[in-house]
């Protein structure tokens, strides 16, 4: 579904954010990308939906070369890729229902956009999406009356309403308390399982990544240093991702002997 081949991303100031990225993500995977701040996690994520352009290599989504798309091609790509941000990006002065209905606006005729008219089917899809994240009872409540966790669920419902195949989530629980963060992570896990939807998430909370994702990608200084199952992540792997060091058992034993 998503394939990076020798991808590089270099900014105009010369900073190399991604260096020789080779990666394949299949339909229905739940992937957590972890690493230090500034390691390239968000850049990697945002290249997938063309929020950032790659500067070298090949990046394909469903066989389509992303960096060659223009105009309507980019809009079609993004229609199939939902994006969740840490900041929610909601209109707080209107209802939950209206915030989710916004997902249909890009595809609506101009006259319906001006008049704000939505079809029964669009409203049905919206209510179903709210039900999927457990806040159907908040449909007619103003967003500014909701908790942070509920607002993140509204953002998730808005994404579900556009019926994407892929959801990209950029630090979706960073501003939530631990209990609420777990509830939102459970929403992502359930959507991934029930809808076979690909979830790719940047996350600082390693313990949440290990508890809910099925695959971990560790990135350091723009380079993927680990890519594997959650079960394979141990202290040595985390040291490699976060400190750039990985001691073998023999080296560790020798180090312990020396210190003794």
Domains held by the chain: number: 1
Report the CATH number at residue 236: 3.40.50.300
Q: In the chain, pLDDT over 70 holds for what percent of residues?
A: 94
Quick: pLDDT tens for 198-230: 999 999 999 999 999 999 999 999 999 999 999
Residue 88 resides in a domain: no
The three state secondary structure string of 57-90 is EEEEECCEEHHHCCCHHHHHHHHCEEEEECCCCC
For residue 146, tell me if it sits in a domain. Answer: no
Q: Give me the mean pLDDT over the 61-87 stretch.
A: 89
The SS3 call for residue 43 is helix
What per-residue confidence (pLDDT) applies to 113? 80
Classify the phi-psi angles of 258: left when phi > 0, otherwise alpha if psi is within -120 to 50, otherwise beta: alpha
Residue 178 lies in a domain: no
Residue 99 lies in a domain: no
Q: Average of pLDDT values for 245-258?
A: 48
Distance CA 4, CA 47 (A): 10
Per-residue confidence band for 188, with pLDDT thresholds at 50, 70 and 90: very high
CA separation for the pair 150, 176 (Å, rounded) = 10
How far is C-alpha 20 from the geometric centre of its chain's CA atoms? 21
Is 116 part of a structural domain of the chain? no
pLDDT digits (tens, 9 = 90+) for 16-34: 999 999 999 999 999 999 9
With respect to residue 90, please indicate whether it lies within any of the assigned structural domains. Answer: no
Q: Tell me the average pLDDT across 168-190.
A: 91
**Does a structural domain hold residue 19?**
yes
**Per-residue pLDDT for 41 more than 80?**
yes
pLDDT for residue 246: 65
pTM of the full predicted structure? 0.86
What is the predicted pLDDT for the residue at 256?
Answer: 46
Residue 100 has pLDDT above 80, yes or no: yes
- Is the predicted pLDDT of residue 258 greater than 60, yes or no? no
Residue 21 tokens, joined: 């990225």
Domain of residue 209 covers 1-80+200-260
Predicted confidence at residue 247, as pLDDT, reads: 55
- Higher per-residue confidence, 55 vs 115: 55
Q: Is residue 35 part of a domain?
A: yes
Over residues 51-73, the mean pLDDT reads 92
């Amino acid at each position: 579904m998503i394939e990076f081949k020798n991808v590089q991303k270099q900014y105009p100031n010369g900073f190399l954010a991604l260096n020789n990225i080779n990666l394949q993500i299949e339909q229905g995977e739940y992937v957590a990308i972890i690493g230090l701040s500034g390691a390239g996690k968000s850049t990697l994520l945002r290249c997938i939906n063309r929020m950032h352009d790659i500067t070298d290599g090949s990046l394909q989504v469903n066989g389509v070369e992303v960096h060659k798309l223009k105009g309507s091609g980019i809009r079609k790509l993004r229609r199939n890729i939902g994006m969740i941000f840490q900041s929610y990006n909601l209109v707080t002065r209107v209802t939950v229902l209206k915030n989710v209905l916004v997902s249909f606006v890009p595809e609506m005729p101009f006259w319906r956009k001006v008049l704000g008219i939505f079809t029964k089917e669009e409203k049905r899809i919206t209510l179903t999406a709210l039900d999927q994240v457990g806040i159907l009872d908040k449909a007619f409540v103003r967003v500014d009356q909701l908790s942070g966790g509920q607002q993140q669920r509204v953002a998730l419902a808005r994404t579900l309403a556009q019926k994407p195949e892929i959801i990209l989530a950029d630090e979706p629980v960073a501003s939530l308390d631990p209990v609420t963060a777990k509830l939102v992570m459970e929403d992502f896990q359930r959507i991934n399982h029930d809808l076979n939807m690909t979830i790719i998430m940047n996350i600082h909370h390693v313990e949440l990544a290990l508890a809910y994702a099925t695959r971990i990608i560790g990135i350091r200084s723009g380079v993927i240093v680990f890519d594997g199952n959650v079960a394979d992540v141990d202290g040595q792997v985390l040291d490699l991702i976060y400190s750039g060091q990985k001691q073998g058992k023999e080296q560790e034993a020798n180090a312990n002997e020396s210190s003794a």
